[in-house]
Amino acid sequence: MLVGYMRVSKADGSQSTDLQRDALLLAGVDAEHLYEDHASGKKDDRPQLAACLKALRDGDTLLVWKLDRLGRDLRHLVNTVHDLTDRGVGLKVLTGEGAAIDTTTASGKLVFGIFAALAEFERALISERTIAGLTAARARGRKGGRPYKMTAAKVRTAMAAMGQKETKVGELCRELGISRQTLYRHVSPFGELRPDGAKLIGKGKPQLAAR
């Protein structure tokens, strides 16, 4: 099944998704399988994107007009596509700079691999700068770094909640006091424990939540 996702940055009606909608319909997406958000690509709280990702099943393909409609943060895009790939879901970008990405084809996977390599390089640079900054701060007698917002108790709560279809991700994040990115780094959309979550609660291997 083909599923389409659309997004415009402003919620005041000054921007329209008509162009995206027409392109997605022309590509074969049924109107009933279109999801639409009016929010910045950098915002964690995009309810229709969350609903779209949760609705996708093994064998489905997610279509977006341009890659930046899915998100503007490279690491978020890479993590999202890796999650889709692990679930057997493809991603196809119709136009723009990411138009060569079609993870249902070998060449499209190669292009996405380059994106993933760039994201890894970016993470390495950030980590290097952070370590250097903390070392310099400690040399001056200061302690740096922020306390973790995610706790073992929150991970277990998130696993139980995400395993329920009626759970609203935005409300869960507000209740736990964390961002969507933090949530999905520890627990999958189906309540599966991810490596960061497993590490936090002291278990060696991710576990599957009951569906």
Separation of alpha carbons 31 and 184, rounded Å: 28
CB distance 81 to 37 below 8 Å = no
Q: Structure tokens of 35?
A: 């999801």
Separation of alpha carbons 149 and 178, rounded Å: 6
Report helix, strand or coil for 196. Answer: helix
* Helices 152-162 and 169-176, packing angle to 10 deg: 160
Report helix, strand or coil for 101. Answer: coil
Report helix, strand or coil for 185. Answer: helix
Q: Structure tokens of 74?
A: 């490279």
- Bridge partners of 2, per DSSP, are 61
Q: Structure tokens of 121?
A: 């390089």
Q: Where in the sequence numbering do the catalytic residues fall? A: 9
* Helices 74-86 and 106-139, packing angle to 10 deg: 130
Helix or strand holding residue 90 (H, E): strand 90-93
